[in-house]
A and B are shown apart, each in its own frame.
Chain A
């Protein structure tokens, strides 16, 4: 069979058309109907502001790196706390019974509700912003790790045992953890999404004067809604890129042994 290579505009025609249509309608509503830049800035204004933001490379880079730092701090602690907690809960029944009530109490508290605590405990620091992201990210990681461990097929554990892998530590490391990996990876992916969503809140209360979330609030304060929308879109794009990179990495590592990882 001959594979015909078609130009991107043909292959992605509908998608491109839909985006263009939204832009045109947006522009029309803003300029002809609303006529109020604070209520709805025109698409073209947003587009120019967008280029303004990303062409000021050093400022943009500073915002991006600050936000990624907050995000990484939160995710890092969520991983090093969430995975071991999930493992221990999943492996030792008694621990699960002790820890589960605590988790069920803490989990429904919205991450934003932790802001006062974050300020009191950690002050106006990067750690404080990281803390809010941590709160958002840690529970999906705990729960998916726990679920993954609960779902480890008994036959793998027993196969490990008859091959001489008998201590809990070895069974967890060599059998349960790899077997639970797809579930843990799915948890990390959810955690990254939730953590990224918490970024705007984490940078709201003045831990720094950089960061994409911070800039969003800053421009809101001076009523530059075109910039607010630019930072909104940037948050979306970067979130998407993070998610895609993670999924690409995971697929390459897990797809070898698991056809159709549910992520």
Chain B
């Protein structure tokens, strides 16, 4: 199961000098089990804050979040996260990065390696098990980060612009791999992106945030059958709708 219920979540940061930043304003969203949600919005609108709150790394000023009707009180292995920046532990080899979550949960070393290897195979990097993160390209690092997040078998996978820093070709391949994993494991995914194209290719529903303070502006159902064709007429129409909702600022940023 992986049903996420977000009710009236607001987040106001108070800085040391006393000024406040209103990052999220009254966000409510019901995410179904096994749903793939993309979140898109202008930069600085509170997307990362939103995901961090779901991960339990930050807490709302008001409002509630539950996972399968249980309130989220802090970080935990039921919610896996892939960060926007590279977050692999540089002092651990690729395989030891992936086994990390299992080691912490007390899985014995041999079994942990076995499970980790299967996830490395899933992301196509079993050959690099013994390498260190500084020997990998950006796209490879994020694939390992995905394997690391999956290894605890979380109910929800939270991804914060995970492919933002990789080149377009690699990104397309990573998107396809992610969908393959999602279809196989059928997890709930919340995926932040700044790319309309990415959102239309991946999501069941796309949530558009307003500029700060972040509110939900609109939610689009992407009823395209999978596997999707990026160049289809329907995909184009969906992109057009999304783009016009996002407004001209984002349009400029993308093209």
Chain A residues within 8 Å of B, Cβ to Cβ: 155-156, 158-166, 170, 174-175, 178-179, 181, 256-259
Contacts and interface: CB of A to CB of B under 8 A. Distances in A.
22 contacts: A155-B87, A158-B55, A158-B57, A159-B83, A160-B100, A161-B57, A161-B74, A162-B77, A162-B79, A163-B77, A163-B101, A164-B152, A166-B74, A174-B100, A175-B89, A178-B91, A178-B92, A179-B91, A181-B91, A257-B92, A257-B133, A257-B134
Contacts of B134: 257-259
Contacts of B81: 158-159, 162
B198 to A, nearest CB: 22
Interface of B: 55-57, 74-77, 79-81, 83, 85-92, 100-101, 103-105, 132-134, 148-149, 152
B interface SS class:
loop
Contacts of B148: 163
Contacts of B89: 156, 159, 175, 178-179
A14 B77 CA distance: 61
A8 B126 CA distance: 45
Nearest to B158: A162
A166 B100 contact: no
Contacts of A161: 56-57, 74-75
A166 B76 contact: yes
A156 B148 CA distance: 13
Tell me which of A159, A162, A179, A259 has the highest count of chain B C-beta atoms within 10 A of its own C-beta. Answer: A162
Contacts of A174: 100, 103-104
Contacts of A158: 55, 57, 75, 81, 83, 87
A164 B133 CA distance: 21
B83 A155 contact: yes
A161 B76 CA distance: 7
Nearest to A253: B91
B100 A156 contact: no
Nearest to B79: A162
Contacts of B76: 162, 164, 166
A159 B98 CA distance: 12
A165 B91 contact: no
Contacts of A178: 89, 91-92
Contacts of B103: 174
